[in-house]
Chains A and B, each alone.
Chain A
């Protein structure tokens, strides 16, 4: 052990060189030298149920402290159970249990070269927090870095020399923050903290060449290099470089890929990370958490949708003006996209996935042209409803923009055309499977019909009208569905009530039958009783007439 064993031999002035830095996993931050934590009590309850003389809390604490100290004499070496047990008195099975417990929690052999659990430990390495130990076992204090946030152990009793007191003032524990508490591990990657003053290095930092020890610029300038390090060991790293290195920048495509794979694989982050490819697991998780949902999400989806569809319209217009082969090509791609949309919609119907996923769904659709979506939605409901919705939307827009309704008139024709068209289609093949093709046809026709004529109407206005139409149509559809559902429920309830009624009636009938039976039985019983009585009287009379005394009858009966 590098630090002196006896706390008294350690003078109260502490420099970093006299502090030992140990690493324990952050999930073991409950550990305190002076106390026995609940975790320990539940895991090793035989020590605490008072069942045995040889298993007491005191014995446990001695075991624990000894094993941990033994390990810390040489943290780089893996401590084995066989090494420990020779020094401890007690049942080896029990000692083994304690040893395994400590090892599992990382209080010993954490980060030591392992023989069997190498992969595990390497994975856990990222969620480390630091433990400071000063010299003696009892003086050990556990101090968290800003990222672990909770103090692992605030020195409770300053009895162990002056060290604890002076050092506790020397290191300030950062305030709690709930977000980073929960996502501290992800934060870590982006925010580096100074190893000396524990501040966040936002501007840039110096990194030790030998290991990952990091200090901030301020500390570097002040000459605080941390224990056993000199100025030459450090290399300046700019924060930009750092953020770039961690791949915090996500392209739209990557986000899309992420969302799609989350939809596909759910919580299985390994698979998600695999399909995203360019990002690792942690990145994926943190990105998904960062992504806004709810209102924000919808808003962004709209924005993206707007942009996309505006482009699409422009493109469409161009292509219509250009050769027809181009047109064919676009319609082909459109087909593809629409099929995709339809598929998604069907999935949504079948799975009834939670709101989060559905939102992702809608976002991932945003790559598809908005017009196609509108087309899809409006064919889901009856054409006249679509027409009404479109009408209402146009009205509202006209009022809002103070523009004459006439500019939409041409469009109106189109809408009626459309609705007629889809009317025909809709009634001929209403089945869900064929809907995709139907949509695609109707939307194609929409495009073809409209694009050449309506260059005079501002495209944004048209898009807004289309969106409003779609929303209206969707709402109508929803209303229809809800109504149908309502009727269904009513019907079911009626059936249930009827069934219950029938059941009750059957029961009543059954009871009536029973009653009849009982009455019959009762009558029979009465009759029987009567006959027995008469018989008895008859017998008695006979005996009397025969002149036999009744007292003589009884003795033989008794014996």
Chain B
């Protein structure tokens, strides 16, 4: 994939997940009658929507969940997909943008903390490949860790992409509204892109200072069973609390699947 030079400077990028595969991260967290189903995976938005129900049925069958889950799962996926599609076709950002990605996740017994930089204009990037080499290098045996890392990266990239769209819209609006005022503060909520001139300028070296190495070094911890149990209990408590707090109030973008559940109840 060769993009002509300096194309990035002029042409804003249309909204998409800034990786090689334009895959939407989908997160499911559904509870029906005390049974909770949590899952995270990626979905190709160009797949026909009929696949969603097929997938939901299949999942319910494979996991031996009650049939009530089928509609929930399908609806949740569908709504997340349509949210993604609502951004499609809009300008995302122009010019170079490199953002820090921070990982802080737990998968079964493995706890991972890491941070690194991600180029939003590199449409050859492959989070799955990155996660694979991460697991290999760190000697992680658990097969669930790799996909979880890739998913976490995708989720953050998705978030950043959405923010970029919003801020790009803001800039356009502000330019229309008050012509001439250039000192408009851009995207308060947007991911803070790194200062490219500072990092890649002629004076600086791309090799980090030794004392910074620790900051960017991945940390992998293996937890004992007790620790996992404790953490899970804590998360569960937090979830319940959060559920109680958020349920009466109408939608916040992020939690559409949960709201469906509440309505049904």
Contact = CB atoms under 8 A, between A and B. Distances in A.
B208 to A, nearest CB: 5
B5 A94 contact: no
A92 interface: yes
Contacts of A90: 98, 117, 119, 199-200, 206
A156 interface: no
Interface in A73-96: 80-83, 85-94, 96
Interface string A32-51: 00000000000001100111
Contacts of B137: 80-83
A82 B122 contact: no
A87 B199 contact: no
B121 interface: yes
A90 B96 CA distance: 12
A53 B119 CA distance: 12
A54 B193 CA distance: 13
Nearest to A83: B137
Nearest to A52: B96
A62 interface: yes
Contacts of A86: 208, 213-214, 216-218
B122 A89 contact: no
B133 A81 contact: yes
Nearest to B207: A66
Most buried by B among A83, A87, A88, A93: A93
B5 A49 contact: yes
Contacts of B216: 85-87
A87 B206 CA distance: 9
A278 to B, nearest CB: 41
A63 interface: yes
B129 A92 contact: no
Interface string A514-545: 00000000000000000000000000000000
Contacts of A56: 200
Most buried by A among B119, B130, B199, B214: B119
A115 interface: yes
A43 to B, nearest CB: 13
A116 B136 CA distance: 10
Nearest to A82: B137
A49 B124 CA distance: 16
Nearest to B215: A86
A295 to B, nearest CB: 52
Contacts of A59: 200, 206
B111 to A, nearest CB: 16
Interface in B208-222: 208, 210, 213-214, 216-218
Given A56-B200, A62-B206, A115-B136, A93 B96 contact: no
Given A51-B6, A82-B138, A93 B208 contact: no
Contacts of B214: 86
A82 B125 contact: no
Contacts of B230: none
Nearest to B120: A91
Contacts of B118: 91-93
B126 interface: yes
Contact of B207 (A50, A87, A92, A116): A87
Contacts of A81: 133-134, 137
Contacts, number: 104
B5 A50 contact: yes
B126 A62 contact: no
Interface string A403-419: 00000000000000000
A80 B134 CA distance: 9
A115 B202 CA distance: 38
Interface in A83-135: 83, 85-94, 96-97, 115-116
Contacts of B205: 62
Contacts of B207: 62, 66, 87-89
B200 A82 contact: no
Interface string A162-205: 00000000000000000000000000000000000000000000
A296 B1 CA distance: 53
Nearest to A85: B116
Interface in A424-481: none
A54 B208 CA distance: 15
B77 to A, nearest CB: 27
A305 B240 CA distance: 94
A265 to B, nearest CB: 37
Contacts of B138: 82
Nearest to B216: A86
A91 B153 CA distance: 13
Interface string B102-136: 00000000000000111101101110011001101
Interface string B10-53: 00000000000000000000000000000000000000000000
B7 interface: yes
Nearest to A84: B137
Nearest to A97: B124
B149 to A, nearest CB: 11
B5 A54 contact: no
A421 to B, nearest CB: 75
A89 to B, nearest CB: 5
Nearest to B194: A89
B5 A51 contact: yes
Most buried by B among A50, A83, A91, A92: A92
Contacts of B206: 59, 62-63, 66, 88-90
A54 B204 CA distance: 12
Contacts of A63: 206
B253 to A, nearest CB: 28
Contacts of A91: 98, 117-119, 122, 125
B154 to A, nearest CB: 13
A54 B5 CA distance: 13
B8 interface: yes
B178 interface: no
Contacts of B2: 45, 49
B66 to A, nearest CB: 41
B110 to A, nearest CB: 14
Contacts of B98: 54, 90-91
A87 B208 contact: yes
A85 B196 CA distance: 17
A109 to B, nearest CB: 12
Contacts of A92: 101, 116-118, 125, 130
**6 cross-chain pairs, A with B, having the tightest CB-CB distances, nearest first:** A91-B119, A93-B125, A80-B137, A82-B137, A86-B216, A86-B217
Interface of B: 2-8, 96, 98, 101, 116-119, 121-122, 124-126, 129-130, 133-134, 136-138, 196-197, 199-200, 202, 205-208, 210, 213-214, 216-218
5 contacts: A81-B133, A90-B117, A91-B125, A93-B125, A97-B124
Given A92-B101, A93-B129, A94-B119, 6 more contacts: A54-B200, A62-B206, A88-B207, A91-B122, A92-B125, A93-B125
